Amino acid sequence: MTRRLPLELTGGEAQYLGLLRDEVEAIEAVEAALLADPSFEHLRNPDDDVWQFVGACWADSATDHIPRFIEEHSRKPVNQVCFMPVKYLSVETASEVLGIRLLPPDDPAVPHAGPRMSLEKPVGCVAAVPVRGTNYGLMASRARFLASHALRVMRIALRDELAQK
């Protein structure tokens, strides 16, 4: 693979860096590790950020560029709770299922209904899912996945329980 180095590292002159297969694989592994780390999941263009890092390492191989990369690109993950309405399942009191809390729609912890979250029937409860990260979109996706999984497991357990009666 050949790729142009960032112009700010070459004095504005177009220079290219040829990479061997194992070097490309190492860069891909770094990108995957960054995306898997909540401190870096907010990066919009991890490919460009990692390439800038590679270029800086190439331009100045005597310097350890890792601390600067971490300082510039990492963010402290935040803990949030995502609230998602659940249709056709009602709870009268707060219950916990596989790490999520199922709350009645009128529970004080549930945010007020709005354009993004309706609490009208057939909504019978709200799933409160704790998540951690630096990208709210990815955090919401993880929360949806966790809530879906917990509700699916609960549905299977209830179906088995009813079948035994």
Residue 115 has a pLDDT of: 80
Residue 161: which H helix or E strand, with range? helix 136-164
Task: Please identify every stretch of the chain with a pLDDT value under 70, giving residue numbers as ranges.
Answer: none
Q: Are residues 110 and 34 in the same domain?
A: no
Residue 77 has a pLDDT of: 97
Cβ burial of 38 (10 Å; 0-12, 13-18, 19+) is buried
- Span 46-73, pLDDT tens digits: 999 999 999 999 889 999 999 999 999 9
Q: Are residues 85 and 132 in the same domain?
A: yes
Total structural domains within the chain: 2
Which pairs from 89-97 meet CB under 8 Å and 24+ separation? 89/124, 89/125, 89/151, 90/124, 90/125, 91/124, 91/125, 97/150, 97/151, 97/153, 97/154
Residue 161 has a pLDDT of: 75
Residue 28 has a pLDDT of: 95
Q: Are residues 31 and 88 in the same domain?
A: no
- Span 106-126, pLDDT tens digits: 999 999 877 888 888 999 999
- Domain of 33? 2-73
